[in-house]
Structure 1
Amino acid sequence: MKVDQKGHTVTIKDTQGDFNGFVEKVTQQFKTYEKHNVIIDLSSDTELTENDLKVFLPLVKLQKKAKKSFVIVASDLDFNAVSDKLVVVPSLLEAHDIIEMEEIERDLGF
């Protein structure tokens, strides 16, 4: 697991290729990241399905309550089939753009 912090955003990348182990680590260490916007980078894992991403729903709820963003980067998915409670994008650039837009919305009171 690789963690990069830039400003108010933390990017967590799965480097092991073990999705379940990665989810467990992120969940255990989530208190460390709760004051930041979080990007989960799963772009290197090509075996993921839309259902696999649902394990992040409890963390998404925590982030929404804390008025922070939670974005998942994954490639080769049917983005229309992903739960609308999850924000899933195909690239890191789009993840940063989404976080920027959500921060503007929060600043404006939406």
Structure 2
Amino acid sequence: MKVDIKGHTTTLRNTQGDCLAFLDKVTTQYQSYKEQNLILDMSQDKDITLKEIKLFGDLSKMHKKAKKSFVIVVDGIDFNAVPSKMTVVPSLLEAHDIIEMEEIERDLGF
């Protein structure tokens, strides 16, 4: 797992290609990142499935409840099938854009 911190956003990159091991690492180290907006970059894993992405649902819900953004970057899936409570985008640029928009919404009180 590669960690990249920029300002109020932490990007965690899955470098192993094993979704379950990545979920386990993120969950066990969550206390280190809970004050930051999180981007989980799994774009390197070309074989990831929607079922595996849904495994991050509880973590996403907990993070968003704390008024922080939680965005997953994956390419090559059906984005219409992703649960509406999760934020999944195809590129890092879009992930950063989503976080900026959500920060503005929080600043405005939405």
TM-score class normalised by the smaller sequence: over 0.9
Q: Please state how far the C-alpha of 1:33 moved relative to its aligned partner.
A: 0.3
Tell me the amino acid that sits aligned with residue 7 of structure 2. G
CA-to-aligned-CA distance 1:50-81 (integer Å, 9 cap, x gap): 11111111111221121000000000010000
Can you give the 5+ residue segments of structure 2 that lack an aligned partner in the other structure?
none
Query: For 2:81, what is the secondary structure of its paired residue?
Result: coil
Can you give the 5+ residue segments of structure 1 that lack an aligned partner in the other structure?
none
Query: For 1:51, what is the secondary structure of its paired residue?
Result: helix
| Bigger Cα displacement from structure 2, 29-38 vs 47-56 | 47-56
Query: For 1:98, what is the secondary structure of its paired residue?
Result: helix
TM-score normalised per structure 2: 0.97
Q: Please state how far the C-alpha of 1:25 moved relative to its aligned partner.
A: 0.5
TM-score normalised per structure 1: 0.97
Q: In the alignment, which residue of structure 2 is the partner of 1:74? A: 74
Q: Please state how far the C-alpha of 1:101 moved relative to its aligned partner.
A: 0.1
RMSD (CA atoms) = 0.7
- Residues 18-57 of structure 1 aligned to structure 2 (within 5 Å): 18-57=18-57
Structure 1 runs (4+) deviating above 6 angstroms are none
